[in-house]
Amino acid sequence: MAAVTRLEELRANLTAVRARIDAAATAAGRDPADVRLLPVTKFHPASDLKLLVELGAMDVAENREQEARSKAAEVPTARIHMIGQVQTKKANSVARWAASVHSVDSIRLAEGLDHGVGLALERGDRTSGELPVYLQLSADGDPARGGVTEADLEELADTVEAAGNLRLAGLMVVPPLGADPAAVFARARRLCDDLARRLGRTMELSAGMSGDLEDAVAQGSNIVRVGTGVLGARPLP
């Protein structure tokens, strides 16, 4: 029997994960088309990213700026979304290549990205205009682990709204260890809807990974970020 190629493996994994998403959405009475899959390619080689693009998965996510920047240069046809923590000093770099940023959690970072996008547009490093950003919600109220607290969410949203080069797209959340994912996702969805009503337009929720995507879809997630389910186990360093 012929060995399964990496392309065939990725195709099968994409099909299986999309089937899980569709089933979860249908069970929740939602349109499966309202939920997008964002494969997470961190630690996997750029060759995998090229294969995903060949399979039609043009949008992928990365956690680390240096790795993402390198892959963006090597696979310019891919749209790479930043989902990991961003140091303010890296904002200018991220602004050059990111299709969106899912981890905005401070006013300083928002202002840094706004400035960075402006510079990138001036220099011709970026042609896509406004950078869509998602505010990362701290589900346990401890911003030391990343995320903005509920108490500071409105102020951060207003900062992004006032930025000329950013577009507030919604919220992102990662359940803390030991938390009930469904409860975390439900709370984030309510806050997302509250924000949408205040701003007068739709807001998306980025929530759910390989192990909890069904809960996320059931609670209203619009974007699920799946690494292992699509790419398999991370390569050993």
Question: For residue 23, what is the domain's CATH number?
Answer: 3.20.20.10
Residue 47 included in any domain: yes
Residue 183 included in any domain: yes
Residue 142 pLDDT class (50, 70, 90 cuts): confident
Q: What share of the chain in percent tops pLDDT 70?
A: 98
Can you tell me the mean pLDDT for 81-86?
96
pLDDT per residue as tens digits for the range 177-212: 889 999 999 999 999 999 999 999 999 999 999 999
Residue 65 included in any domain: yes
Contact 174, 137 (CB under 8 A): no
**Residue 17 half-sphere exposure, CB side, CA atoms within 13 Å?**
29
Residue 237 included in any domain: no
- Reported pTM: 0.95
pLDDT per residue as tens digits for the range 22-50: 999 999 999 999 999 999 999 999 999 99
Reduced to 3 states (helix: H, G, I; strand: E, B; else coil), residue 186 is: helix
Residue 236 included in any domain: no
Residue 53 included in any domain: yes
Distance CA 138, CA 222 (A): 18
**pLDDT for 1:** 45
Residue 44 included in any domain: yes
Range(s) of the domain holding residue 133: 6-28+35-231
The total domain count for the chain is 1
Per-residue HEC secondary structure of 156-181 comes to HHHHHHHCCCEEEEEEEECCCCCCCH
Asked whether residue 174 carries a pLDDT value surpassing 90, the answer given is yes
pLDDT per residue as tens digits for the range 124-134: 999 888 999 99
Asked whether residue 236 carries a pLDDT value surpassing 90, the answer given is no
Residue 1 included in any domain: no
